Amino acid sequence: MTTPPAWLEDIHLITFDCFGTLLDWRASLEKVEIRTREDFDQFERETQRLQSADQHQRYAEVLKSAISKVRPQLRPAVIGLFADDFGRTPAFADSARALATLRDVVKVGVLANSDASHQLDALATLGVAWDLCITSQELRAYKPSDRAWDAILRIGVARSAVTRDGWLHVSAFDHLDLIPSRARRLHTCLVRRPGADDKVPADLTVESLDELANLVLMAKKGPLQLEVASTCSDSATATRLCRWLRQTYLVELRATPGVRGATLIEREDGTLAEQVLFGGQAEYEQYLATYAAEHRAMVREAFPQGVERVVRVSSVRARV
């Protein structure tokens, strides 16, 4: 496997184009009889013309107009149903599993020329909860316009609390995503998909999202799991500790930078095990240097006696 670039360790947010990168829109267009290269080219030209118009239209309306232009013989009801359900477009085979893997180590998001309803359907298809979701409906502008990309950058930094140095954008398209995002000093990754331009200058090129996920895992040396097992001197203390961990301590942990998740397990022998997931080695070391002492002090202050805690750190890294 290719050695990951050094900068990949410092990535904390990975965003994706949706249709054509995560979801196979070309396969979906078969339903409205758009099949040949000429059909695809005409469809793309028409959608781009409508998206660049002075008056903004929702993406569903753009789709309806473009499909009606390419296939005027189709019934409006068929076109309308397809456009409204475009978010149900089938995913590429690697999309869902790669996103599930990446969510353990970084924040993941989508930057989509779509309506909000399309993204709700895409969420169900991909089985992922976005840390960041920005649609053209929210922006009232479409990629690749400067208006859309300038707003994406501003909103993305504000909502994710990640600077552009820690942001990687992934797409199969040059003019739509990779060129404008690279011009704004985001890291870029080209994933090869049907119809993609494989000569696009990008910081990273992968054959699949599985490959990208593996490179991120290698670069991050993660995810890492910190497990703290607590045993209590009596059942009353155990009950009180369990409640405090769930209601106070884990809430604090989940809000800590670098923490990707925190759960509590109640074992049959009465042990309470906190399992805290970090994106990688760097995030864990930053936690030790910045937050660990404060968190240990919280536990000591709340339970000065009657609780014994044992710490164990393990790598839970697994290639896709």
Residue-wise pLDDT for 40-95, tens only, equals: 899 989 999 999 998 999 999 999 999 999 999 999 999 999 999 999 999 999 99
Give one DSSP letter per residue of 79-142, joined into a string: HHHHHHTGGGPPBPTTHHHHHHHHTTTSEEEEEESS-HHHHHHHHHHHT---SEEEEHHHHTS-
Q: Both 159 and 304 in a single domain?
A: no
Q: Where is the domain boundary, 219, 252, 287? A: 219
Q: Both 228 and 175 in a single domain?
A: no
Q: Both 121 and 158 in a single domain?
A: yes
* pLDDT score recorded for residue 320: 45
Q: Which residue has the higher pLDDT, 318 or 191?
A: 191
* CA pseudo-torsion sign 20, 26, 29, 30: negative
Q: Mean pLDDT of all residues in the chain?
A: 93
Q: Both 305 and 209 in a single domain?
A: no
* pLDDT score recorded for residue 94: 97
Around Cβ 81, how many Cβ atoms within 10 Å?
A: 13
* pLDDT score recorded for residue 26: 87
Residues 80-124 pLDDT 10s: 999 999 999 999 999 999 999 999 999 999 999 999 999 999 999
Q: Both 10 and 153 in a single domain?
A: yes
Residues 207-232 pLDDT 10s: 999 999 999 999 999 899 999 999 99
**Range scoring the smallest mean pLDDT among 140-149, 187-196, 271-280, 296-305:** 187-196
- How far apart (Å, rounded) are the C-alpha atoms in residues 58 and 88? 17
Whether residue 287 is contained in a domain is answered as yes
Q: Both 215 and 248 in a single domain?
A: no
Q: Both 144 and 212 in a single domain?
A: yes
Q: Both 142 and 15 in a single domain?
A: yes
* pLDDT score recorded for residue 72: 94
Where in the sequence is the domain holding 241, given as residue range(s)? 224-315
Q: Both 93 and 203 in a single domain?
A: yes
Q: Where is the domain boundary, 187, 219, 251? A: 219
Whether residue 55 is contained in a domain is answered as no
CATH no. for residue 149? Answer: 3.40.50.1000
Q: Both 103 and 179 in a single domain?
A: yes
* pLDDT score recorded for residue 66: 95
Q: Both 117 and 178 in a single domain?
A: yes
Domains of the chain: total: 2
Q: Where is the domain boundary, 219, 237, 270? A: 219
Compute the half-sphere exposure of residue 230: CA atoms within 13 Å on the CB side of its CA: 26
Q: Which residue has the higher pLDDT, 2 or 284?
A: 284
* pLDDT score recorded for residue 199: 73
* pLDDT score recorded for residue 265: 95
* pLDDT score recorded for residue 1: 52
Element (H, E) at 170: strand 167-171
Which pTM was predicted?
A: 0.88
- Strand partners of residue 261: 277
